[in-house]
Amino acid sequence: MTAIEQTEARPRGTRLPRRARRNQLLGAAQEVFVAQGYHAAAMDDIADRAGVSKPVLYQHFPGKLELYLALLDQHCEALVQSVRQALESTTDNKQRVAATMDAYFDYVEQEGGAFRLVFESDLTNEPAVRERVDKVSLDCAEAVSEVIAEDTDLPQEQAMLLAVSLCGMAQVTARYWLSSGQPVPRDVAKGLTAMLSWRGIAGFPMHPDSPAA
């Protein structure tokens, strides 16, 4: 169960198992951070949203930064797993590209706006936050680069450069599509992005020993 599924505030005094309480607090924190940003959010707001006292909140998270980082870890991991699953969903590279683009569109469209914590954080000057934001982009690109390097004659460094380009385009395009009010239907937007990506990456010769050759 994700944090956002635990956001409904409960009456104060309701006892929950520790894991369930932690998920509830993360869900409440996500709503507050997305709505207000890190700097404007207060632990009082999060406790009120969760329907708990501040001491209960501090039993699980020693401070606001630790709470924010826990959310980042959760949602960064979710994106990486989604990209990996997309790559593993087929051995057809054209379909792999489409599935990967879809993973980014799905990520930004998820209820709760968690992607804003990852890609639009107002706390990127904090080293621990910057590290996580950079790492999720690199982890996604590394997953894609493994496929590119396996299927082409390109060295790993060049495969990684292409992968960073593909993931960057997917992320920026998906966020633009959402922020623009989605004037283009999602399937069309995803298809256009996938087409552009595929026409670019398909131009690189396949390795003779590649399973996709």
pLDDT digits over 55-92, tens only?
Answer: 999 999 999 999 999 999 999 999 999 999 999 999 99
Q: Is the CB of residue 64 less than 8 Å from the CB of residue 41?
A: yes
Residue in the block written with tokens 């104060």 = 12
pTM: 0.86
pLDDT score of 212: 56
CA dihedral 95, 154, 200, 174 (to 10 degrees): 60
pLDDT score of 44: 95
Q: Identify the CA nearest to 65 among candidates 136, 147, 123.
A: 123
pLDDT score of 111: 86
What percent of the chain has pLDDT above 70? 90
CA distance 54 to 96: 46
Which regions of the chain are under pLDDT 70? Answer: 1-14, 207-213
pLDDT score of 211: 56
CA distance 73 to 7: 18
3-state secondary structure 82-108: HHHHHHHCCCCHHHHHHHHHHHHHHHH
Q: Is the CB of residue 90 less than 8 Å from the CB of residue 33?
A: no
